Amino acid sequence: MTLGTVGPHSLFASIAAAMAAAGPGGTIELESGYSHETATVLFSGMTFFGGAQSRDIVLNLGSGITTVTLTGSANIDLNDASDGNGIVGNAGNNLITVTGGVDAVDGGLGIDRLVVDYRQAIGAITGDSTSNFTEAGGGGRSVTMTDGTIEHFTILTGSGADTITTGAGNDIIKTGQGASTVTAGQGANIIFGGNDSDTITALGGGNLVRAGNGTNTVTTGAGADVIFSGTGSDTITAGAGVDHITLHGGADSVDAGAGHDRLFLNYAALLTNVSGGIAGGNAKTGYVGHIADLTGSTVDFRQVESFTITTGSGDDTVTTGNGADILRGNDGRDVFRAGGGQDMLFGGNGRDVLHGGTGADQLTGGDGADNFVFATRAEAGIGATHDVIRDFRSGVDHINLVGIDADVRVNATGDQAFHFIGNAQFGAVAGELRYANGMVRGDVDGDGMADFTIEVGMVPNLSVHDFFL
């Protein structure tokens, strides 16, 4: 029976005090708005009633508690004991955690989450969110759910080879050390694999998948997915949507699917040369290609539109397409070539060659005598599309204009070189190149107007020796 309400205007000031008076099978009613208490349930068969105004109520089930029931609509969280419990939720949004024993959970109405914390399990965890999850090998852990009463799941497993399936919902799944198979349904799921060879499948909805360092197979559906792989050899297939896929080494295969996808390659730890890039495709439907280093870290990719690539201490050569790419080198003499798009290229240490292609690019050479290449006027740009060299050092770095014909008039023959005139004004002579106020400007047709511009910051002066003409 109900022995009274709990709250500042009631007989009992706390849930703990009310339970001590109630004994087994009693009913505790929360005063409207009563909130912020964590209490241990000491008797079986108790019922807790509260309205939607109550918040932050946590009930920890003591040893030997066989059943507990929630009624009303308060958001009450329940943590089981390790010896198994029967738990019935209410119409509120309940967070229910089970860790061991033989449990039975009915979430009731509301938007509930069941946390199955089996991280101490040694046997394999198998099951699905419509029925039960069970530990094999006599571990004694199992939880049976009333189908349709739990909307979201958090599943944490131990060292076995697990097989976990969840349905629609925003689920969190983290496997342990075994070779596990995880299948998550529609929703914004978060999945962490272990360090063995896992097979992870997540349907549409926008998923975060972090595979471990084993040989993994990851498949996602439609949605904006974020996928991280470890150092193993992974096969990743993403569905439609704007996907971000990050690799850290190993022999990987990536199909990014439809949508504007970005491939992140973090090869910063590699000591040998990284080479490769796009072999075909376009920025609309994606590029196909191959990148590898000498130690066996490789990636074959398709349907990738943009790249963010960080290389290590080797002499690296990487070519990308017309997406907005970010290429970042470290030690070594790197050669980075990007296509159209607003790219960011960082050479790092060493004598690097940075070729941004068309688009308004940001180029940073880093330490070493760097070569900034502009093969056409369009690659240098003009106005809002001009390129910017962030750290040009006069007397050390070079601006390479060899590929640009300095005189495009119809009566001019051959590929002419530019004539550097310092900060003087154009004299209506084709082929003049000047520098003033942080801008390199070139006139290729003799009309006295700049046909391309390159921003180099506020370097006080440039000389002809700062250019390859």
Q: How many domains does the chain have?
A: 1
**Within a 13 Å sphere around the CA of 324, how many CA atoms are in the beta-carbon half?**
5
pLDDT score of 137 more than 90: no
Which pLDDT band holds residue 238 (cuts at 50, 70, 90)? Answer: very high
Give residue 328's domain range: 269-373
CA distances, 253 to each of 16, 30, 325 (Å): 57, 56, 20
CA distances, 150 to each of 86, 87, 126 (Å): 15, 12, 18
Q: pLDDT value at position 2?
A: 60
Is residue 355 a part of any domain in this protein?
yes
Whether the Cβ atoms of residue 326 and residue 308 lie closer than 8 Å to each other: yes
Whether the Cβ atoms of residue 43 and residue 20 lie closer than 8 Å to each other: no
Whether the Cβ atoms of residue 156 and residue 138 lie closer than 8 Å to each other: no
Q: pLDDT value at position 124?
A: 95
Per-residue pLDDT, averaged over 312-324, amounts to: 96
Is residue 460 a part of any domain in this protein?
no
For the chain, give the number of residues.
469
Q: pLDDT value at position 96?
A: 98
> What is the spatial distance between Cα 327 and Cα 352, in angstroms, rounded to a whole number?
12
Prediction pTM value: 0.91
pLDDT score of 385 more than 90: yes
Is residue 276 a part of any domain in this protein?
yes
Share of the chain above pLDDT 70, in %: 99
Measured over the CA atoms of residue 320, residue 324, residue 330 and residue 332, the dihedral's sign is positive
Is residue 455 a part of any domain in this protein?
no
Q: pLDDT value at position 1?
A: 54
* Structure tokens belonging to residue 372: 């900034």
Per-residue DSSP letter, 367: S
One-letter amino acid of 72: G
Mean per-residue pLDDT over the chain, rounded: 94
Is residue 10 a part of any domain in this protein?
no
Is residue 160 a part of any domain in this protein?
no
Radius of gyration of the chain (CA): 32
Give tens-digit pLDDT for 22-68. Answer: 889 999 999 999 999 999 999 999 999 999 999 999 999 999 999 99
> What is the spatial distance between Cα 53 and Cα 250, in angstroms, rounded to a whole number?
53
Is residue 421 a part of any domain in this protein?
no
Is residue 406 a part of any domain in this protein?
no
Secondary structure (3-state) at 464: helix
Q: Which residues contact 337 (CB under 8 A, 6 or more apart)?
A: 277, 318, 319, 320, 355, 357
DSSP, residue by residue, 246-310: EE-SSEEEEE--SS--EEEEE-TT--S-EEEEEEEEETTTEEEEEEEETTS-EEEEEEE-EEEEE
> What is the spatial distance between Cα 255 and Cα 239, in angstroms, rounded to a whole number?
9
Q: pLDDT value at position 411?
A: 65
Give tens-digit pLDDT for 71-118. Answer: 999 999 999 987 889 999 999 999 999 999 999 999 999 999 999 999
